[in-house]
Amino acid sequence: MIVIIDYGMGNLHSVSKAVERLGYEAVVTGDAGTILAADAVILPGVGAYGDAMQHLRESGLDVVTKQFAATGKPLLGICLGMQLLFEQSEEYGIHQGLGLLEGEVIRFKGEFKIPHMGWNKLQFLQDSPLFLNLNEGHVYFVHSYHALPKNEANLLATGDYYGPVTAIVGKNNVYGMQFHPEKSGELGMQLLQNFLTLSR
């Protein structure tokens, strides 16, 4: 059973449909017991960092997400969900995150279009089970803020938008994808498949 955490903010339908297309049972829920019993958990997210953390805290799902991560079973944050894994974000003020990954989330700065929106090619930086039998290709991003991991060992892949952009992160059983794998064609689905395979 793959659980997609429902905390009131996220592209829940498209993620659950993608998981089901890959042959897995997808359950969308905010129930702590169901989350902790899952084989793998996905934390999606669309919207503002501070609002998302407030929803997680008010529902107690911040604690539940950390408890799940501590089980050693695979956890994946997608888009805003990936950013929430970090220690803090500067989006509309400084907001504390889940702290499962060391680092912060900052706004793009420069004379170019923000948000970063569109297809960008991934560059795999190190070996990861997520990349098993895959070649680098293009995935779909939509974001105005990007993560800066403190530990380079946690940076698995980058995209390029007027410089390197954190695209995939990982530390032990905790993973994050800044882009939307469920909207990123064949490569996105293959990356999601490789993550789900870890649940076995």
Catalytically annotated residues: 79, 180, 182
Strand residue runs (E) in 110-197:
116-121, 123-124, 138-143, 145-149, 155-160, 164-171, 174-177
Give the span between the Cα atoms of 121 and 157, in whole angstroms: 10
Query: Two tokens at 120?
Result: 């960008």
CA distance 27 to 25: 7
CA-CA-CA-CA torsion for 53, 150, 110, 126, nearest 10 degrees?
A: -110
